[in-house]
Amino acid sequence: MWEPEFLTTRHVIPRSHPRVESLLIRKKLVDGFDSGLVAREGLLAQGRGEAFDYLLGEKTGRPARRAIRAAAATLTLAEFPVISVNGNAAALCAAELVSLSMQAGAKLEVNLFYASKKREQAIVRTLRKCGAQKVLGTSPASSARLQGMDSARRMVDRDGILAADVVVVPLEDGDRTAALKSAGKTVIAFDLNPLSRTAQTAHITIVDNITRAAGLLAADIQKIAGKNAKVLHQIVSEFDNRSNLADSIAQIRGNLARRGGLA
């Protein structure tokens, strides 16, 4: 007898559906929107990400694996790493980001493009439910301005992003990475679009769905935990973001060639 496997608030997603993984990621976003975590525009951002994920073959390719390893080494070497969390990231993988923060010894900071106190609080509650002890970015007393940008994302925490040496930025629209770099920070980005400004500007871009990559990054940090600093520095220095992005674009071209005869 047929049984529905996953229920959304309105619809049924059968486990047998050929695109079940993608539909479940979409469901997380819609649920996140319904519960006040995600901005309306976040649903559009998800659509853009889905399109790139489709072109990448919806799997973590070799370039993403290499970026994840370099990111793991960078975070292990960091003195003051901070993970920035926006609405989409909280809806898609709050638990993974909390365990990444524990694994990396990194602080969590809420930072929104479509600033909203209500959404900020909802994100903090979600991260806390997943085990976060402390979440920065909500106290007006420690709020500071990141130079070189005008969007709401310029407001950062003095005890968090402003003081960080390494900042992890999940899926965002590219206005902040350059400002963070100018402020002397190393930027690690999750972005499915290898052509985006964020992807092109970050020191290390993980071109993969954050729903897959956040957990893999935490696992890689655990794997390299015993390695000495010299080995970690070597992993970082051998990584070249520009050529790795070119490899992600080649991954897309390869998929197009295999599936559509277009490349």
Contact residues: ligand PTJ, CB under 6 A: 39, 41-42, 45-46, 48-49, 52, 86-88, 92, 112-114, 171-173, 190-193, 196, 209-211
CB-nearer residue toward ligand PTJ: 106 or 169: 169
Give the residue from 250, 216, 233 showing the smallest Cα distance to 63: 250
CB-nearer residue toward ligand PTJ: 11 or 48: 48
**Residues 32/46, Cβ–Cβ less than 8 Å:** no
CA 147 vs. chain centroid, Å, equals: 23
Q: State in angstroms the smallest separation of the CB of 113 from ligand PTJ.
A: 4
Cα(99)–Cα(74) distance, rounded to whole angstroms? 17
Give the residue from 127, 159, 117, 116 showing the smallest Cα distance to 141: 159
Q: State in angstroms the smallest separation of the CB of 3 from ligand PTJ.
A: 29
CB-nearer residue toward ligand PTJ: 49 or 81: 49
Q: State in angstroms the smallest separation of the CB of 231 from ligand PTJ.
A: 29
CB-nearer residue toward ligand PTJ: 54 or 80: 54
* Cα atoms in the Cβ-side hemisphere of radius 13 Å centred on 45: 25
Q: State in angstroms the smallest separation of the CB of 76 from ligand PTJ.
A: 22
Instruction: Tell me which residue has its CB nearest to ligand PTJ.
Output: 49
Cα(33)–Cα(50) distance, rounded to whole angstroms? 17
User: Helices in 57-115 by DSSP H: which ranges?
Assistant: 62-77, 87-104
